[in-house]
Each structure stands twice: as structure tokens, then as C-alpha cells.
Structure 1
């Protein structure tokens, strides 16, 4: 199978490239710096634009991961525009390109985020839950998914994965938290009572493989552990795993002062359950947080 990836040089994309190349699939990665793709993405072919692919370059599947990081900097007007362009505009262009192919790719798997659900307090959520009154992050996900789903009109099987924060030792949220927690300076965020979905990187890769391999899988899938925790519990378990105390909470007012509207990513919560994911037959390797962190932080070198 030949797979086209957008956003393939990021944390998840690199892991997917390793996985699918080991299975013998051929990989093409759309990147702003195609010369670096082979080194970063397990020998994948790098392209700088979709127009570099001609009709003889068969594409059997597309995995769409592209999107500027949402939590790297405050949501200024310019940053909001970049976040939308890097997700919505790119996805629109991708689906338009698929529509111009003599034969559209058979399957499109696309990233979204559990931020789609907004800050929902104690409400238990799954893939059938109604959309919230949207904040910026939620509306971004809703508009992104709308562009992805246009591909179904081409006869392409489409699945959207709503990512929870991805746990990996060498990137993402966990890599940013570790230096603070290893110094014993970690603590809960806000009240600590907000629900916090999460997923181990290996399980996310396995979920992509599962959805790609099963022709009956289409629609929305929550890419998260079936055992979400509250932020205070996440903090306690992470501190315990690195054998340090966690006694320095960050008050909600301070986070709002420092981050503005973006603070909702830290103080808001979603009690998200992966119902359709479980119903599809997917089985988690790391459903429980303590075991997931132990494997990531104490695995043999």
C-alpha cells in the first residue's frame, strides 16, 4: 500500500512512518522541508506540494496530521489565523486534490482533537455527544472535521480520530512537563478536578493501523484511553513515577493571566470515553495511566 501523510515529520507522524515502513508500506510525506523527510520519517519520500504527485503515483490511503501546534503560544489574531489555515485550509486543499485524481484514495484518516467537546465539566462524553457551544478550540475542530468529511462524497472511506493529549517520552505534553516534575516543582493545574483524557503514543499508532485495516470503520473515533483521570490524579501519578513530590499548584487565575483564552486547554476538561473505538474491536495496550508512564519513563534504553 502507498500512504500519503501530511504532518508526517511531527511526533505522531514519525511514529506512524516507523510503524508502516516496518510493515512494508510505501510512504510519501508532504512537508515544507521535503529534503529532511527521509531522515526523519524512516526513509519516506518527501514532497513539497501535492502537485508533485502525478497520475502514475498511486495513493491508496491518506493520513492527515497537519496542523500548527495549538498550545505553543498565545492565541493572538495572527496565531488563530495560522491555526485555522494549517488545519482547515490545508485539509480543504487536500480533499480538493483527491477529487481531481482519476481514482480517489480509498481511505482518509484524519486527526482532530478531544477539544472538539469543549469544557464540559462532569458530563460523560463519547462520539455520539452533541457539539458544545463552541469556544475557539472547539470551533477549530468542528470546522476541521467538516472539511475532512467532504472526502466521503468521493467514495473515500473517512475516519476522524479525536486525539487526547498524546503521551510520549520524547515529545508532546509529557516531554514539556518532565523537566518541571523531575525538579519537584510540578503540581495540579487550577482546581485539579477537571477530567483529563490521554493516550499512549503506541496505542495511537495501533489505532491508526486498526482503522486503516478495517473497511467497516468510518466516522468519528475518540483516540483516548478508556480510563481518563482528573488533573490532580494525573499530577500525583506522574510525580510518583519520577519519584518527586508535586506540591506547587498553578492557580486558575494565574494561568488565565499568563495564557489568556488558551488557558482553557489546561483548566477545562472533558470526561471523554472512546465508545465507538472500543465497539470497533480495538484493544488498548496501555489503558491505565500508571502503567503507561512506567513504560515510557522507565523502559530499558
Structure 2
């Protein structure tokens, strides 16, 4: 089985590679040499590295494509230049993949492409699943909506398309949790604003297991919320994180301060998204960590 992977050297991709040992993988990366060094732990001689999709005229030789490429959305303020980089890093790579699939006489059987729960925008305390249709002018929605529209063009009788609307992926090795650990360990952790906003989260193990599940489940297609069945409020999350690390929970960061520091991108912290993974669970996927407390205990057992 041959698989094309973009974003394989990123936060999720690095962990996903450990679960794809039965595949021959072609990994798209800006720096093949650096990726080869960084991913040596996962390379069993089954990974080759390329820095451009221009090497291909079609994808006839591939059984599957997983597209996780994209500039991190939360690392910098959303200047016009940064917004353009965030959009183009997702849209252009996806467009190129879709063009190659269309050029194939025997295209890949499955195309799994990234997205995010930011698509939904602020839904306050309301619980919802993938059937919710939204339209707003927020930047996260704009990024995700077009990203998904491009990916869905690859659908045909020969190729099924799965879209990953990903929540907050929990791992001490990076992402939001990785950034939160130091202040919490120093006793400086606390809720964001009033802490009433819902946070859809997912353990990294379930994130990559879910991707592999969609890869192997021949009738899986469409949009999937990649988040645990029990989203929690920011207040609940921050208290549970402090408890797991045996640290106090007495501080909070006022909304105005984060808006000042982050600008428009502060919506990523304050939008309330109580998303449920209905389609994934109905498909038969079982979460290893459906509740936050055991998830954090597992992830942070060596940080206590």
C-alpha cells in the first residue's frame, strides 16, 4: 500500500507516522534532509521524502492521500501577510493534490484532508454535530470552508473524501497543551476570561487512531468532527490541568488582555465550540480517552 502524506513532519503528522508502518509513504516536506533527521524514529525504511508535488503528473501509483499541510494558525498575530500564508499553505497544496487526482486514471481510493472546528465559529453553550450548517465572516470559517470545498472536488466513484474538523489536540510534545505546561507548573495557570467557553479537545492517540480508522474503513466519507465525545468549558479544563499537575488554580487571564496581545486571533480562545463526534462514533470508532481527566493523567504522567 502506497500513501502520499503532506504535513508529515508537523505536530500531528509526526505521531501519525508511528501508526502507518504498513504503508510505503511518500512524505512532502519543505526540507527533506531535515525531515529525514527529525523523523528517524518512525522511518523503518518505508518513507521517501520529496519537496514538491511537481514531481508527479498523476497519483496513479498511490492508494491513499493524507493532507495535513498548513501554516500553524495560532502561532502568530493575524497580519494580512500571515493570513495569506495560512490560507495559501492549505488551499494551494490541496488544489495541487486534487488536480493530480483528477489527472489519474486509477486515482487513490481515499483522500483524507484537514480542517478544523473553527469552521463552526462561536456556538455558545449549544451542543452540535457535523450536521450543523453555518456561514459567517470569521477568518477561521473562511480558511476552513474554502479548504473543504477544494478537497471535496476530488470526490468520485473511485475516490472517497474524508474531512477532519479537528479540535484541540492534546499532547505534551506541542500544540496548546505543550505551551500551557510551563505557566501551570509555575502555579500561574488559570482560566481564560470567565472560562465559560467550550473547548472541543482530543487526545493525540485518538487523533491518529481516528485517521487510520478512516483510512481503513472503506465506506467512510464526508465531514468528521475530530474531538472527544465530552467537550468541556475552559474553566473545567484549566482546573483539571492544574489538579493533574498538583498546582494551584487561582489566576485568570482577562479577555481584554488577550485581545490586546493576540488581536483578531484571540477568537481561537474565546469562541465556544461544543462539538460532538457523532459521525465518527456512529462509524464504530471507540475513543481511548473520551473524558478529560484520564486523558490528562495519561499525557502528563511523567510531568507530575
TM-score by length of structure 2 reads 0.94
| Aligned position for 2:15 | 15
| Aligned position for 1:5 | 5
Listed one character per residue, the Cα deviations across residues 248-275 of structure 1 (whole Å, up to 9, x for unaligned) are: 2011111111111111101111010111
**Could you tell me how far 1:209 is from its partner in structure 2?**
1.1
Is 1:121–2:99 an aligned residue pair? no
- Contact 2:118–2:140 (8 Å) recurs in 1: yes
Q: Closer, same or farther in 2 for the Cα pair 1:56/1:158, shift >3 Å?
A: closer
- Contact 1:126–1:274 (8 Å) recurs in 2: yes
**Could you tell me how far 1:104 is from its partner in structure 2?**
1.2
- Contact 1:192–1:232 (8 Å) recurs in 2: yes
TM-score by length of structure 1 reads 0.95
Q: 2:282 aligns with which of 279, 283, 293?
A: 279
Q: 2:31 aligns with which of 28, 33, 36?
A: 33
Structure 2 gaps, min length 5: none
Q: Closer, same or farther in 2 for the Cα pair 1:102/1:170, shift >3 Å?
A: same
Q: 1:257-272 residue pairs with structure 2 within 5 A?
A: 257-272=260-275
Which structure dedicates a bigger proportion of its chain to helix? 1
| Aligned position for 1:224 | 227
Listed one character per residue, the Cα deviations across residues 72-103 of structure 1 (whole Å, up to 9, x for unaligned) are: 00000000000110011111111112222332
Structure 1 gaps, min length 5: none
- Cα distance in 2 for partners of 1:258, 1:275 equals 35
Range that drifts further, 92-101 or 108-117: 92-101
- Cα distance in 2 for partners of 1:212, 1:79 equals 32
**Could you tell me how far 1:49 is from its partner in structure 2?**
1.0
Matched residue count: 298
- Cα distance in 2 for partners of 1:45, 1:246 equals 46
Listed one character per residue, the Cα deviations across residues 48-90 of structure 1 (whole Å, up to 9, x for unaligned) are: 1123246697111000000000000000000000011001111
Q: Closer, same or farther in 2 for the Cα pair 1:61/1:246, shift >3 Å?
A: same
- Cα distance in 1 for partners of 2:62, 2:38 equals 21
- Cα distance in 1 for partners of 2:253, 2:281 equals 34
| Aligned position for 1:94 | 97
Q: Closer, same or farther in 2 for the Cα pair 1:106/1:56, shift >3 Å?
A: closer
Q: 2:153 aligns with which of 146, 150, 162?
A: 150
Q: Closer, same or farther in 2 for the Cα pair 1:153/1:57, shift >3 Å?
A: closer
